Amino acid sequence: MILRDKPSPLDLALAIKGSIMPAVARPVAVVAVVATALTGLGLRFQVLPVLDPVSVTVFGLALSLFLGFRNNAAYERWWEARQLWGGLLADLRMLAREAEIFIPDSALRREVLRDALAFAHLHRARLRGRPADPDCQRRAPDLMAAPNPACAALDRLTAKLAEAHRAGMIDGFGARALTQRLGSISLAQAGNERIALTPLPFVYSLLIYRTIYIFCLILPVALFAAAGWLTPVIVVIVAYVFLGLAEVSEQMSQPFGDAPNALPLDALCRAMEISLAAHLGEDAPPPLAPIDYQLS
């Protein structure tokens, strides 16, 4: 996630980090070359048909509406993922407080909270596709070979609580409260996995990019008679806007990735470590800071 203050006019002109320009520079350059070639053919050799700009404008309006719909769908996925991770943070904080109330054995309480933190990191690594995550290797090396290491961490935590309940170390009311908390954590986990494993339909990406390129190829033919050699400049601006919006929606539809606009899962896991440090009797680590404006 990019964290920057309100950009100044100079930042607007020169900022690269957090901009969509690196992702769209190559296709925009291709469009610029093609637009320049078509404009030259139309102005010097008069071999291109002259299109009515109104018809191309209608095409552009339809494309804008479709892009808006796709961006809304992508943002809904991103925001839902952020809400689920916010719920996980709240659940781990509540689990620590409930453990203080219902688990009198301090050693068992620390084991439960460490398993909860291991779950958070294993879940983060699974969502990001990092099977060899070093933090997970350090926290739960025995769970890395499981089909779903995050589920294995919750299963181990559940088994410890069940054994403590059978041994009379946790009363019935406490067992019920802790079980409900684990249920809430599991629901958030399933919601995140649903988002990660169910991308936006591929046909959306295919259609939107095809339509953008078709529009950018038709636009010079409609503009060269009126705009002359300014036609490539106008086409490049339009291509940057449309391709940029399409790329932003691609990044937002994958909220757990490594793109600049993805969710800061590392920072969220660190917030969990900070919240649980006092309950574990440990010093709280410092919060993660952005590196080159990006919070991972």
Does a structural domain hold residue 5?
Answer: no
Does a structural domain hold residue 9?
Answer: no
The overall average pLDDT reported for the chain is 89
Tokens at 103, concatenated:
């688990």
Does a structural domain hold residue 252?
Answer: yes
Query: Is residue 191 within 8 Å of 256, Cβ to Cβ?
Result: no
| Closest among 116, 254, 138, 110 to 188, alpha carbons compared | 116
Task: Report pTM.
Answer: 0.90
Please report the pLDDT score of residue 54 as a whole number: 76
Does a structural domain hold residue 131?
Answer: yes
Please report the pLDDT score of residue 14 as a whole number: 66
Instruction: State whether the Cα torsion 288-117-126-249 is positive or negative.
Output: negative
Percent over 90 (pLDDT), the chain? 57
* Residue whose tokens read 């936006």: 200
Please report the pLDDT score of residue 86 as a whole number: 96
pLDDT bin (cut points 50, 70, 90) of residue 177 is very high
| The total number of structural domains that make up the chain | 1
Calpha distance 107→249 (Å, rounded):
47
Does a structural domain hold residue 44?
Answer: yes
Does a structural domain hold residue 78?
Answer: yes
Q: pLDDT, tens digit, for every residue of 124-160?
A: 999 999 888 888 998 899 999 899 999 999 999 999 9
Does a structural domain hold residue 294?
Answer: no
Question: What are the distances in angstroms from CA 224 to CA 28, 49, 232, 234, 255?
Answer: 18, 10, 9, 10, 41
Calpha distance 166→181 (Å, rounded):
19
Does a structural domain hold residue 10?
Answer: no
Tokens at 294, concatenated:
């990006």
Instruction: State whether the Cα torsion 83-85-91-93 is positive or negative.
Output: negative
129: left (phi over 0), alpha (psi -120 to 50) or beta: left
Find the domain containing 97 and state its range. 17-278
Q: pLDDT, tens digit, for every residue of 106-120?
A: 999 999 999 999 999
| Closest among 294, 285, 289 to 117, alpha carbons compared | 285
